[in-house]
Structure 1
Amino acid sequence: MNEIDLVRELLAQPRATEQTTAAALARVQRDIARGGRPRRPRARRLRLGGLGLAAVGAAAAATVAVPVVMSGAGTPGRHGSSPPPPEARTVLLAAAWQAERQHDTMGAYWHGTDVSRIYYRLHAPTGDYTVAWERRFEGWTPSSPTGRSCSRQQDLGTRPAGAADAAAWRRAGSPSELAIPVGHDGPGDFRSMTLKVAASPPRTTCQKLPADGTIFSLGENVTMKDLRALPADPDRLKRLLVKRFGKAGRDTEPLTRVRTGDSWMFSVARDILLGMPVTPQVRAAAFRMVADLPSVRTIGSVRDAEGRRGTAVAIDERTSGGLLEHRLIIDQASGRALAYEKLVLKPAGDNAGRAPGSLINSVASLTSGWTDTAPR
C-alpha cells in the first residue's frame, strides 16, 4: 500500500477528493522529508465532520501506519526497499489544486526566465564524452497589445556534462572550441557547428508586437487576450487545443505526428505549464488534462538540471531515434512546473551513441510571473 492508499483509508472514503488528497499527501511528505516517523493509527475511526483541510492533513500525517518515502530519494523503507511513488494522477491533481490557488494580478509584463540545455555526444581518439550547451533566456511580454516585447539572451557556454566527461575532455586536450555534429548532407558528408566552452555576454533586444498583437504560438498565433480567455475546464481546453492544432501545419507539431495522442497532448500541456501567461485556473486545467492521459506515469522524486528537487511524471514515445521519455518535473508544494527533460531510454538512429537513460535536452523554468518593471 502506498501513501495515497493510506491517506484515503485514513480519510474513510473510497476515493478522496483532490483537496483532501493533496492536503494529506503534502503533510505526509513534509513529515517524511524532515526524517519523522509517522505514528500508527488509533483503533477508533477518524471523525472528519467540521474539520478543515489543514486539520484533515494533520490527522492523516499523524496516523500513517508505516514510514513511506518518495522513489529516488535514496532512503530505504522499513524492510530495506522503497515503496512505489504515488500514482501520476494523484501527483498531477495535487499540483492542479495548488496551482489554481496561486495569486494572479496582471502587470505591465509577463516576465519569465529559463535555462535550456542540449546534450551532445562527442568522439575523440582519447575517449568519447558528453557536453551540455547551456543558454539563458529572459523575456518580458507586454500585457498591452501596443507594448514592446523584450528579451535578454546569453550563451552560457558548453561544458562537460559530468565528472567522467570532464576527465575525458581534459584527456582530449581541454579544447576551448567544440565541433558539434548537427546532421549530414549525404554519406560521409557531415555538417557541424562550433560551440565555445566560454560564456558570451548577454544581449538584450526590444521590439514592437506584430500588428495583430500575437505573442505566442499555441497551434496558431495567439494574443495575450486569447491566452487569458482559455477555458479552465480540462475537457474544453483539450477540445480547443485539438481544434487549433488541427489548423496548423505539420512543422508546428511538438512531438509526434499523431495529433491528440498522449505524447502530443503531454507536450502541448507542458508548453502551457512552463511559461505561458495563462490564469491559475487554466494552469490547473492543464495539469488535470495531463492527469487524464492513460499512459502518463510517475518517476518519483528527482533533481532537475538546476539541482532543484521535484516530483517527475513522464510519458514515452517511440521514434526513429529510439524510445524516448518526456519528463515534467513539478514542485507539488506550489503547483509549479519546474522543468522539462527529454531522455532516451532505448537508443537508436541518431541517438545510437548515447547511453540508455541519458539526457537529450532540458528546459528549466527559473522565474515566471507578472511585473511592472521593464528591462533596462
Structure 2
Amino acid sequence: MKDIMQELAEARPGHLSGAGRVGEEVRRSELGRAFSQPREAVRRRGHARRLVPAVAAGAVAVTAAVLVAGTGGGTPTPRRSTTAAPFRGDSVLLAAADVAAKQPMGEYWYTNQLSGLSFVVKGGYAITCAHMETFEWTAVKAGGGHLFYGRDLPARPLAAEDEAAWRKAGSPSISQVWNTDHYTPCATKAGSWKPDINHDKGGSFFVPGTAVELTAAEAQHLPTDPAKLTKMFLVRDVNPARAKMDPVGSKWLNDPAHVVRNASYAFANAPLPPKVRAALMRALAAQPGVRNLGTMTDPLGRRAIAFGADWTDGRPDRGRGGKVVWTKFGYTYREVLLFDRKTGEYLGDEAVLVKPGGRYRTRKPGFVLHYELLRGSGWTNKKPSPPSKLPFH
C-alpha cells in the first residue's frame, strides 16, 4: 500500500515537480509526470520506461528563467480565444460517437503526443522548452508487441507576441534556461525518433493515475453509465485511515482539477469506444467544480471545446517532523481538457494561468504553463511507425 505522500507526489502537476539537480531515476520520474503518456510516473506495467531524447537529462520544474543560448523561432503558436457564450456539448458528444463508430478496431492502437513546458526568459518573452514528442503503439493480442518512441523538439517562442519579442531581440538561439537553481537544456534542433527498450508484449492498455489496465476486449465492453465511469477513472478512493491522518492531502487528491487530470489519462491512453468516451465526457462535465469553458484554440491551431477546473493556490508537502503542511504557489491556474469542436475527438490538455503571482507575476491570465497534445491516435492493421513530419514549422 502506497504512502499518502507517494500518492501526492504522483498526483502533483508535472511542471511543478523537481527542484534542483537530482538522480537519473528521479529525473525520469519527474519527466514521466510532465511528458505525454506516463505523466505521473515513468514506470508502467512493471518496467522502467527509458526516456531517450537528450532533453530528458534536465529536471522539469517550471520557474522564471534566464536565457543563455540555442535556436528558436518557427511559426508562432496560435493564441486562444474563448467564446462569450458556453458551447453546447451534446451535439459534440453525438458527433464524436458517430465519427468514432466509422473506424473499426484494428490489430494495433497508436497514440502520437507532444508536450512542452513554458519558461519566461530574460528578454521578457516566453519560450517552450523541455519540448518532446512521443509515439506509442500497442498490439491488441498479447505477445503482439508494444513500442514507445520519443524525440526532442526544438525550443520555440510560445505565442505570437513572444515570437515578435524574440525577433526584436535579434532572434537569439536558445540552448538552456535557468530553472530554480540549475540549468535545464533546450533542444536546438529536432532530434530523431528513438525507441524505448522494454519487454512489454502488448495486449493491454494501462491508464496512468488509476489501477485500471484493460485488454482491448475489456475496453470495448466498458460501462456507459457515467457514475460507474466516474468511480473507475475520475475519483480516487481514499482509505479512511489515511483521510484521518492527512485530511488536507487526502481531500486534495480529489480536487476538481485532479478529476480533470485523471480524465485526461483515460482519454489519452485507452482505446475507449465512442459511447464510452461520450459517457465519460458527460461524467466529467457533471463533476463539482468542472466547467464548460467555451471554445479555445490549442497550440496546434485546432479549434476546441474546453472543460476545466482551477487548481487552488498551493499543494500539500511534508514539513518538519513529517507533518503535512500547505505550500502556496502565489498564483492559481486551470487544468483544461480540449476536444475537437466538430468531431468531439480528444485533443489534449493544458495548464493555463488564472491568477498571476509568484514566479508568474509578470504573466497575464491565459498564459500556458505547459501542454500535452494528442496529435493523433487510432486503429490500424499494420504495425505503426512514428511520423517524420514535425508538428511545428
TM-score by length of 2: 0.62
Amino acid aligned to 2:261: S
* 2:289 corresponds to 1:311: no
Larger radius of gyration: 1
RMSD: 3.2
Name the counterpart of 1:338: 347
Q: 1:56 maps to which residue?
A: none
Look up the match of 2:173.
176
Shift of 1:163: 4.2
Decide whether the 8 Å contact of 1:94 with 1:332 is kept in 2.
Answer: no
**1:215-272 deviation digits (Å, cap 9, x = unpaired):** 443412514355444322110111233676548x99xxxx996233322222212222
Match in the other structure for 2:262: 268
Q: Does 1:132 align with 2:120?
A: no
Instruction: Tell me the amino acid that sits aligned with residue 110 of structure 2.
Output: H
Instruction: Report which structure shows greater RCO (CA 8 Å, sep ≥6).
Output: 2
Distance 1:165 1:332, change over 3 A: closer
Cα 1:359–1:207 shift into 2, 3 Å: same
Deviation, 1:289, is: 0.6
Q: Aligned pair 1:160/2:192, yes or no?
A: no
Shift of 1:286: 1.0
CA distance in 1, matches of 2:290, 2:151: 34
User: Which residue of structure 2 aligns with residue 239 of structure 1?
Assistant: 231
- State yes or no: 1:279 paired with 2:273: yes
Aligned to 2:294: 300
After superposition, give the CA deviation of every residue in 1:309-364 in whole Å (9 maximum; x if it has no partner). 12223222213332211222222432212231111111233433433321101122
105-114 or 172-181, larger mean C-alpha shift: 172-181
TM-score relative to the length of structure 1 = 0.65
Listed one character per residue, the Cα deviations across residues 43-84 of structure 1 (whole Å, up to 9, x for unaligned) are: xxxxxxxxxxxxxxxxxxxxxxxxxxxx958xxxxxxxx862
**Structure number with higher strand proportion:** 1
| 1:148 alignment partner AA | G
Question: Does the residue aligned with 1:196 lie in a helix, a strand or coil?
Answer: coil
Could you list the runs of 5+ residues in structure 1 that have no partner in the other structure?
A: 1-70, 74-81, 184-189
- Aligned partner letter, 2:279: A
Change in CA separation of 1:302 and 1:345 when aligned onto 2, cut-off 3 Å: same
- Larger displacement relative to structure 2 (365-374 or 93-102): 93-102
Give, in whole Å, the separation in 2 of the partners of 1:218 and 1:210. Answer: 22
Structure 2: unaligned runs, 5 residues or longer: 1-79, 244-248, 315-328, 386-393
| Alpha-carbon distance in structure 2 between the residues aligned to 1:363 and 1:94 | 25
Q: Which amino acid aligns with 1:128?
A: G
- State how many pairs are aligned: 280
Q: Which residue of structure 1 lines up, in the alignment, with residue 333 of structure 2?
A: 324
**1: CA distance, partners of 2:353 / 2:132:** 21
Residue 211 of structure 2 corresponds to residue 220 of structure 1: yes
Counterparts of 2:263 and 2:110 in 1: how far apart (Å)?
19
Amino acid at match of 2:286: D
Query: Pairwise mapping of residues 2-21 of structure 1 onto structure 2 (< 5 A)?
Result: none
Q: Which residue of 2 aligns with 1:191?
A: 182
Asked if the contact 1:110–1:142 (Cα under 8 Å) also holds between the matched residues in 2, the reply is: yes
Give the distance between the partners of 1:242 and 1:312, measured in 2 at CA: 17
Secondary structure of the corresponding residue to residue 263 of structure 2: helix
Q: Contact (CA 8 Å) 2:234, 2:260: kept in 1 or not? A: no
Identity of aligned residues (%): 25
The answer as to whether partners of 1:256 and 1:263 remain within 8 angstroms in 2 is: no
Matched residue of 1:217: which SS? coil
- Structure 2 letter corresponding to 1:262: P
